[in-house]
Structure 1
Amino acid sequence: MNTPVWDDGNWHPLPHLEGNLEGEFCVVGLGGSGLSAILELLRLGRTVVGIDAGSVAGGAAGRNGGFLLAGAAKFYHQSVAEHGPALARRLYQATLEQIAHMQRETPEAIWPVGSLRIAASEEELQDCAAHLKALRADGFEAEPYEGPEGQGLLIPSDAAFNPLQRCRTLARQALEAGARLFENTPAHKISGQEVQTLQGCIRCQKVLVAVDGRLEHLLPELKGRVRTARLQMLATAPVARRYKRPVYRRWGYDYWQQLPDGRIALGGMRDAGGEAEWTAQNEPSDTVQHRLEALLHQLGIEAPITHRWAASVGYSANGLPIAEEVRPDVWAIGAYSGTGNVVGALLGREAAWVLHGSRRPGAVLLT
């Protein structure tokens, strides 16, 4: 069992690439960031070929917890301290605007309900207060929270969504706009003017590698700066309504939300797996799954477990994503440190403008 709760089984697979193609740009990776880049390039009037080693959003983009959180991977007050107030504020504002853009693109897949950060200790509760203070100081929405989930803070501008539904919708939009997309087409060799696959070749002007997990395997020059980890989740049969908003708890190591049909999607416990979770394998492990079950019982949820799944994501040392030209005319974006749904989509759009030979107005990370 390694199927995410998001998969309704209605996707019609895309073909794999056979033979040679030409296009102005090639995007490697058909997750949220790659598809956002493809759509932005199409809006700019460019021609694009997109490939993925698996299926559309078959990696972490369609196998995550379904959180749309503003900001970088670090909590806002941590970002201010580590990245500086100017960058932290600009990035937070840009991700707020990106969430709004995503709602306009795929309204049926997004639930604008906010999010909760819930403390699991007195120390974390004090940190929530610091988090709240920093957000309010810079004019961002946040409120202290106390409710059935616990104590912490409410961030009204965040959202929840179905990540796989969104990506598949974006892929359909891209195909309708003229993109050529191919599944089950791993990149074998990448240069700025050519991407070779096992059964074909794409000749182009520039390449964007939009891959999160295993990015350092695809581009070995990033080893030491990017490290792949496994994130695991499970889901239950529907239960009575308990949670209005997605919940981030225990410094983000535990997270869950209740879907519109009543099912609970719960993930985390990566720290319980220790070093074994720093792996490119994406099969669920007994150690972490048992801990997730224990958390489910701790929350008082006794419904049958219907899904278990895992995905690979990339972490960077400083919590900021990779966004750079790593080879001549080969750009890479990834290593979102577990929170790539918003930042990844934003970076995809920024990267499209860079490939186009310009700068996206308001760009934050690729300027």
Structure 2
Amino acid sequence: MGLGGSGLAAVEELTARGLSVVGLDAGRVAAGAAGRNGGLLLGGTAPFFHGAVRDWGAEPATWLYRQTLAELDHLLDVLPAGVVRRSGSLRLAGGVDADDDERARELADCAAQAAALREHGIAVEEVSGAFGEGLFLPDDAQANPVVRHLGVLAHVQRAARDHGTRLHLHEGTHVRRIMPGRVETDRGVVSAGVVLVAVDGRLDVVLPQLGGEQPRVRTARLQMLATAPLDDDDAARVRERVPCGVYERWGYDYAQLDDGVPGRGPRLLVGGGRDVDPEAEWTTTTDPTPRVQTHVERVAERLLGRTLGAGEVAHRWGASVGYTAPDAAGRALCGLVDARVAAVGGYCGTGNLVGAVAARAAVRLLLDGERPPSCFIHPLRGHGQ
């Protein structure tokens, strides 16, 4: 269930083992957060690496970081050239409304992150320039998320044919009930040896046992905007400030310059501001809100170096993503929720690569009985990690 990044990775893993697969999605492939995110393909997960080392231990934190980079290598191998651009990423200290003290605190945190990365053999550089001060992580990448996922879909379909396995993908299919060996939908019933729920946003709706008074995962809204195509002067100025995927203000705000298609100028894609109105953003609706969009506009204007004029914001949107509870320390979910039924999700806003790692771990759990590594937590409370 779910045909975003984690679901497609699971389909690929299952068909590679020669199994027949039925994939279901209530919308379209990558219609949720998979196709509506900032397009940053970052090593690691939501906590910065030094935080993950502190809270999880060095071995699981390093294992997950290297697995996400391996997923990125895999994408570069299977997708057409140019779909994923290994441009690196920038973590910048400060941002909109950050004063000197806040920038200094975040720069100190950047230094701690860099030290931990170097200690474990992961590439990082301290940088400063027109974009600001912070860290450059050369292993990271960026992509248009819709183009990326449609490319992965085409790869998965080709691979299934090559393996001689049956693959049936059903969009616009709403699941009504999930139980061992059986999934009931509005279009019929699927019988299966194993079931994997690979949904991030609204996972607590699909599997209510993960919610409740002490939720294991909660759904939040992330908001973005896209400018109209930029003219040459604006594009040149933005490229100095956004030479690759950028995230700042402790990762709450992020941006990339999307070169788009020939004959059309690049667009600035900007998201963030979830902390501007945090309680309102715990919601399953995806409609943009004036308060957060005003903040995202200010981020865009800082990167543009000027005020946005009327009509210069071409699109505004939101997407649902899953956040695990604070006691999870930023770890995503991966484990059984019933006999032969597993779930993954709760990527805390950074599921582009982690989701695929979790999905492959869930397949190994379902088929081989291999316990997920400790960088993930069990979806149900009272079941260990």
TM-score (norm 2): 0.85
In structure 1, what is the equivalent of residue 253 of structure 2? 254
Instruction: From 6, 22, 26, give the equivalent of 1:49.
Output: 22
Instruction: Check conservation: 1:175, 1:181, Cα contact below 8 A.
Output: no
Secondary structure, aligned partner of 1:284: coil
Instruction: From 112, 117, 120, give the equivalent of 1:138.
Output: 120
How far has the Cα of 1:264 moved from its partner?
0.5
Output the CA distance in 2 between the equivalents of 1:218 and 1:363: 24
Calculate percent identity across the aligned residue pairs.
46
Instruction: From 269, 272, 286, give the equivalent of 2:276.
Output: 272
User: Relative to 1, partners in 2 of residues 1:84 and 1:115: Cα closer, same or farther, differing over 3 Å?
Assistant: same
* 2:248 partner letter: R
Output the CA distance in 2 between the equivalents of 1:221 and 1:36: 25
User: Relative to 1, partners in 2 of residues 1:107 and 1:75: Cα closer, same or farther, differing over 3 Å?
Assistant: farther
- Count of aligned positions: 340
How far has the Cα of 1:363 moved from its partner?
10
Instruction: From 326, 338, 341, give the equivalent of 2:349.
Output: 338
Alignment of 1:7-22 (within 5 A): none
Q: Deviations over 1:74-126 (max 9, x none)?
A: 00000011111111111111111111111112244201000000000111011
User: Relative to 1, partners in 2 of residues 1:269 and 1:361: Cα closer, same or farther, differing over 3 Å?
Assistant: closer
Secondary structure, aligned partner of 2:316: strand
Q: Deviations over 1:231-286 (max 9, x none)?
A: 00001123313122110100011100101242100000111122000001011111
Instruction: Check conservation: 1:29, 1:211, Cα contact below 8 A.
Output: yes
In structure 2, what is the equivalent of residue 284 of structure 1? 288
In structure 2, what is the equivalent of residue 217 of structure 1? 205
Instruction: From 175, 191, 202, give the equivalent of 2:190.
Output: 202
- Establish whether residue 355 from structure 1 lines up as the match of residue 366 from structure 2: yes
Q: Deviations over 1:325-355 (max 9, x none)?
A: 0111110000000000000011222222333
In structure 1, what is the equivalent of residue 86 of structure 2? 112
In structure 1, what is the equivalent of residue 97 of structure 2? none
How far has the Cα of 1:175 moved from its partner?
3.4
In structure 2, what is the equivalent of residue 244 of structure 1? 243
How far has the Cα of 1:172 moved from its partner?
2.7
User: Relative to 1, partners in 2 of residues 1:107 and 1:73: Cα closer, same or farther, differing over 3 Å?
Assistant: farther
In structure 1, what is the equivalent of residue 135 of structure 2? 153
In structure 2, what is the equivalent of residue 101 of structure 1? 74
Secondary structure, aligned partner of 1:277: coil
Instruction: Check conservation: 1:283, 1:310, Cα contact below 8 A.
Output: yes
Output the CA distance in 2 between the equivalents of 1:360 and 1:82: 20
How far has the Cα of 1:191 moved from its partner?
0.8
Instruction: From 165, 177, 197, give the equivalent of 1:189.
Output: 177
Secondary structure, aligned partner of 2:12: helix
Q: Extract unaligned runs of 5+ from structure 1.
A: 1-27
Instruction: From 311, 315, 321, give the equivalent of 1:307.
Output: 315
User: Relative to 1, partners in 2 of residues 1:320 and 1:333: Cα closer, same or farther, differing over 3 Å?
Assistant: same
Output the CA distance in 1 between the equivalents of 2:87 and 2:15: 31
Output the CA distance in 2 between the equivalents of 1:364 and 1:355: 18
How far has the Cα of 1:290 moved from its partner?
1.3
Q: Deviations over 1:129-166 (max 9, x none)?
A: 11111101111100001011100000000110121112
